[in-house]
């Protein structure tokens, strides 16, 4: 009797196990629509802080495969390079997007990461023209279209660099929000602005009409007001006293009103509405081919920079983001094929220095202009120079050696100035390490299986530097040493090689996914090869990332 019972239990266990295995196999993702969402500046810390309060889209996505310990494993944790890793499978040293900007010593001018003088903007022919041309890597969408020409790829964002770097070189449309206009794009020679804007023309008209009829006022969302109000407080940053609270006081002029609107939850709301409209207009995911929709949500970054990451403004933003994502995910129920959604981030961030300092963390600002001026004065004296040999264009973490004309120096001047400057900088108590970028460019890469959390500072920097688009000297300031000033609309930043800027959540979700959490680190460069494996696309052989199976028992 006992033996029979044991056999019966064993049989039941085997049956249950096989059923569970079959169920797991049956629920593997088989998408006709791949949606990749980047929440700009959505750090792993921010995800963890508010995870218990999620009730909308972020709660849904957290019921899939969750990597709470994802990494942007390079050093220059900025928007453009971070976005360039998400769907290329490569670190910035292979995407060519080393930073948001770099200094071109041949011209003596700053170059924006996506600058392309051969194109124009659809909304303003004299505006900053951009395209994917500077990104030397291809994306998952490019790989897909190479083998499936009927596949459609669209990218939308609050920023040009969010829309373009994720959707790639062959996208059918790349649109980003321009305050006062709506969503715009770039226009190549032989194209017209009207033609390029056709996919969003009706949406832009409705967006403008709705905003005029119902102006957006940023006050607390009712669902989270009680919780977020408890975070209100008074601060002084950069000599300015201000109260961290909602509602945001109305700006005095139209330009100020547009800036305030841009740096509010409205930008994400409009971006998600456009994503839904494009999905429905073009029937993405309804046909036999796989389609791709990339969505970069910029408001968290705008709000983090302007108000910090841990105040009532961010509390309300995350609640609204959760709600808006929920509505967007619900709209995907109409897709005829399967849907796979990925959510990640381009970088994290720390809170502003003054609030952290008040909490006892000893955080301090490094003021860039006086810091580089002092360094130049010392080098002029030590080397007998008649000019300032260093330029820190865009930030003092990348420093360029220049000649008297502020352009390319002689090789001899480059060598002696760099050596002297690196030695001086490494004596600064605020600096962790400084390097000659030529040393980084020639050093061996970290092993392919190296854990992102265990990389040395040099290895992190190695993944950021790209020839011709990086300073001669790269500087890693110590943790909680912030190389940025505080302004009227800018109190917090990111960009360091430390984990508060590198760690991001990475979530994979599809209907029928078995919820589970994977605590070991995942690199953002692993997302693209994973998507390629799921959809049967062969990626380039030189990727940094690797496929990670999303279902237990399955292999890439």
Q: Which uninterrupted H or E stretch holds 37?
A: strand 31-39
Answer yes or no: are the C-beta atoms of 152 and 180 closer than 8 Å.
Answer: no
Structure-block tokens of residue 160: 């040009």
Q: What's the rounded Cα separation, in Å, for the pair 347 and 99? A: 12
For the question of residue 79 being annotated catalytic, the response is yes
Residues near 206 by beta carbon (within 8 Å), at least 6 away in sequence: none
Could you say which of 77, 79, 138, 165 is catalytic? 79
Query: With left for phi above 0 and alpha for psi between -120 and 50, is residue 82 left, alpha or beta?
Result: alpha
At residue 226, the 3 state secondary structure works out as: helix
Residue holding tokens 């997302």? 527
Minimal CA–CA distance to 278: which of 298, 293, 296? 293
349: closest CA among 86, 101, 52, 40?
A: 40
Residue among 353, 352, 399, 408 nearest 374 (CA): 399
Which DSSP string corresponds to 73-99?
-SS---HHHHHHHHTTSS-HHHHS--S
Say if residues 275 and 341 touch (Cβ distance below 8 Å).
Answer: no
Whole-angstrom CA distances from 502 to 43, 181, 357, 437, 460 are: 8, 33, 21, 21, 10
243: enclosing H helix or E strand: strand 240-244
Neighbours of 120 (CB within 10 A): 20
Say if residues 297 and 158 touch (Cβ distance below 8 Å): yes
* Angle formed at CA 190 by CA 184 and CA 196, multiple of 5 degrees: 25
Residue with tokens 């009712």: 222
Report the catalytic residues: 79
């Amino acid at each position: 009797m006992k033996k029979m019972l044991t056999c019966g239990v064993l049989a039941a266990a085997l049956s249950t196990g096989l059923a569970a295995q079959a169920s797991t196999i049956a629920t593997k993702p088989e998408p006709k629509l791949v949606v990749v969402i980047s929440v700009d500046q959505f750090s792993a810390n921010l995800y963890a802080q508010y995870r218990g309060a999620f009730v909308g889209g972020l709660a849904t996505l957290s019921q899939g495969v969750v990597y709470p310990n994802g990494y942007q494993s390079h050093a220059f944790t900025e928007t453009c390079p971070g976005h360039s890793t998400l769907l290329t499978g490569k670190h910035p040293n292979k995407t060519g997007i080393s930073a948001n900007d770099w200094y071109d010593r041949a011209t003596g001018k700053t170059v924006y990461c996506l600058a392309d003088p051969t194109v124009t903007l659809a909304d303003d022919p004299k505006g900053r023209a951009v395209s994917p041309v500077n990104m030397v890597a291809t994306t998952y969408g490019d790989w897909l279209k190479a083998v499936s020409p009927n596949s459609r790829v669209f990218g939308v964002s609050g920023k040009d660099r969010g829309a373009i770097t994720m959707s790639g070189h062959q996208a059918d449309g790349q649109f980003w929000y321009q305050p006062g206009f709506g969503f715009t794009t770039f226009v190549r020679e032989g194209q017209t602005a009207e033609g390029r804007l056709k996919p969003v023309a009706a949406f832009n008209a409705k967006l403008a009409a709705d905003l005029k009829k119902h102006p957006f006022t940023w006050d607390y969302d009712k669902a989270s007001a009680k919780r977020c109000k408890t975070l209100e407080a008074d601060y002084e940053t950069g000599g300015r006293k201000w109260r961290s609270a909602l509602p945001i006081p109305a700006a005095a002029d139209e330009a100020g009103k547009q800036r305030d609107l841009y740096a509010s939850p409205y930008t994400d709301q409009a971006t998600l509405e456009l994503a839904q409209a494009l999905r429905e207009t073009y029937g993405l995911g309804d046909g036999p081919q796989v389609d791709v929709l990339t969505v970069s949500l910029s408001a968290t970054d705008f709000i983090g920079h302007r108000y910090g990451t841990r105040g009532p403004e961010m509390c309300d933003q995350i609640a609204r983001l959760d709600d808006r994502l929920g509505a967007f995910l619900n709209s995907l129920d109409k897709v005829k094929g399967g849907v796979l959604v990925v959510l990640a981030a381009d970088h994290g961030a720390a809170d502003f220095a003054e609030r952290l300092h008040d909490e006892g963390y000893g955080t301090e600002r490094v003021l860039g202009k006086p810091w580089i001026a002092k360094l130049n004065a010392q080098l002029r004296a030590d080397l007998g120079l008649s000019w300032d040999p260093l330029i820190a264009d865009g930030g003092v973490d990348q420093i360029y050696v220049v000649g008297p004309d502020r352009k390319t120096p002689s090789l001899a001047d480059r060598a002696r100035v760099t050596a002297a400057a690196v030695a001086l900088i490494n004596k600064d108590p605020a600096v962790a390490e400084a390097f000659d970028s030529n040393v980084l460019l020639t050093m061996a890469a970290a092993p392919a299986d190296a854990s992102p959390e265990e990389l040395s500072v040099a290895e992190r920097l190695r993944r950021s530097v790209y020839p011709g688009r990086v300073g001669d000297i790269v500087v890693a300031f110590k943790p909680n040493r912030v190389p940025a000033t505080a302004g009227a609309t800018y109190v917090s930043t990111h960009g360091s090689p430390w984990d508060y800027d590198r760690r991001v959540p990475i979530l994979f979700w599809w209907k029928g996914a078995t919820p589970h959490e994977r605590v070991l680190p995942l690199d953002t460069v692993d997302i693209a090869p994973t998507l390629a494996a799921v959809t049967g696309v062969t990626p380039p052989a030189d990727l940094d990332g690797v496929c990670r199976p999303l279902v237990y028992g399955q292999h890439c």
